[in-house]
Amino acid sequence: MTAPLKHSDPVNVEVALGNRAYDIVIGRGVLASLGERVAALRPGVRTAIVTDRTVAKHWLEPTEASLAASGIPTSRVVVEEGEISKTYAGLEKVSEALIAAKIERNDLVIALGGGVVGDLAGFAAAILRRGVDFVQVPTSLLAQVDSSVGGKTGINSPQGKNLLGAFHQPVLVVADTAVLDTLSPRQFRAGYAEVAKYGVLGDEAFFTWLEKNHSDIFKGGSAREHAIATSCRAKAGIVSRDERETGERALLNLGHTFGHALEAATGFSDRLFHGEGVAIGMTLAAQFSAKLGMIGEADASRVERHLIEAGLPTRLQDIAGFAQEGLADADALMALMAQDKKVTRGKLTFILLEAVGRAVIAKDVEPAPVRDFLKDKLALRA
């Protein structure tokens, strides 16, 4: 592992996509440089900032000030916080506002927020005038290490998570680690699940480092920047090799087949944040891998133990309102998993483990063993 970054040392991680390559700028206080970076990237550009009400209270004015200091005109589109905005109605609101703001093809949409805002603003940019470029300014840990990188944009359907969307790469990502200080502890923990995921799926040394240093990440020490940069490098490498998820990129969905079904079962509500669903899903994936004899029980327990130490849920019974119909029912969860984007001709695809730090794509998984596994997990005492 490389030495942790100092707070004073911003780092650039390149997403190498040929003439569509872009930088992820990571560091404490880098939001102030947004205007300068945008002006250098697109001289004479106009922008529209899409954000949510909570983020707007803290970071909208500093973002506008940075753009204004570089002579960049901007407008604002403010949506409600949370998955409630990642819908057909939310997409219509943002799209119509961007049209009203006269954002043209040579302008930029700026997504200022967490994963919901990034997905929503990015999708609106992708379809506006058949494609307008956008900049990601992620304000949650989850967005900084995962959703802001790689060009996945979209909204939810009532039938499932992220079933409508487009691959639309940003032209710049500015990840200011100072903005994470305003997150609630629960939001930060939820984002940490995606950090741990990179270690579990492909970097056992990083996972070992996280086991020793996660408390410093939570406290805001220099380990925070190091964890974010390491995560971004891992994702950038995978995206550059498999932009449209025809192969290796599917590994990034570790925990997501289970997790997305749980999010749908809870109505995409604050009963279960996305990262919390990933934490439970990752634990279930490790345990299912052990059940299939792919890894030992000790490895599955190691994954769960670390997530518990980080304050994350790892069991179905940890979800608020667990006993409600549709969540404590294996057949209902199987029906939701059947809507997963990775399903092919009705056969499930799971990301499973051969070791901590080595994930594999398991295609054509028969439903019956999964259903039996879920029934066993649902039967556990709370």
Indicate whether 76 belongs to any domain.
Answer: yes
Q: Are residues 278 and 316 in the same domain?
A: yes
Is 11 annotated to bind a ligand? Reply is no
Residue 219 lies in a domain: yes
3-class secondary structure, 357? coil
226 annotated to a ligand binding site = no
pLDDT category of residue 4 using cuts at 50, 70 and 90: low
Same domain, 120 and 189: no
Q: Within a domain: residue 241? A: yes
How many domains does the chain contain in total? 2
Domain endpoint, select from 180, 195, 219: 180
- Same domain assignment for residues 88 and 152: yes
**Is 242 marked as binding a ligand?**
no
Last residue of a domain, one of 122, 157, 180: 180
**202 vs 159, more confident:** 202
Same domain, 97 and 165: yes
Say whether 184 counts as a known binding-site residue: no
Task: Read off the pLDDT of residues 75-88 as tens digits, 9 standing for 90 and up.
Answer: 999 999 999 999 99
Assess whether pLDDT exceeds 90 at residue 221. no
**Last residue of a domain, which of 180, 207, 222?**
180
Residue-level pLDDT at 1: 43
Q: What is the dihedral of CA 241, 244, 249, 255, to 10 degrees?
A: 170
Question: How far is the C-alpha of 161 from the C-alpha of 260, rounded, in Å?
Answer: 6
Does residue 254 belong to any structural domain of this protein? yes
Kindly state the average pLDDT of the residues 262-288: 95
The pLDDT score that the predictor gives to residue 2 is 47
> How much is the pLDDT for 321?
86
For 162: left if phi > 0, alpha if psi spans -120 to 50, otherwise beta; the answer is left
pTM here? 0.92
Lowest-pLDDT choice from 140-154, 169-183, 332-346: 332-346
Percent of the chain past pLDDT 90, that is, above it, reads 85
Instruction: Just list the catalytic residues.
Output: 130, 152, 194, 235, 245, 249, 253, 256, 260, 274
Query: Is residue 329 over pLDDT 60?
Result: yes
Domain presence at residue 136: yes
Same domain, 34 and 115: yes
- Are 252 and 286 found together in one domain? yes
Its domain, for residue 171, covers 9-180
Is residue 113 domain-resident? Answer: yes
Q: Tell whether 21 and 169 lie within a shared domain.
A: yes
Confirm or deny that 82 is annotated as ligand binding.
yes
* DSSP string covering 27-59: ETTGGGGHHHHHHHHSTT--EEEEEEHHHIIII
Residue 273 belongs to domain with CATH number: 1.20.1090.10
CATH code of residue 87: 3.40.50.1970
Bridge-based pairing of strands 74-79 and 22-27 is unpaired
Mean pLDDT of 233-250: 95
Same domain, 15 and 45: yes
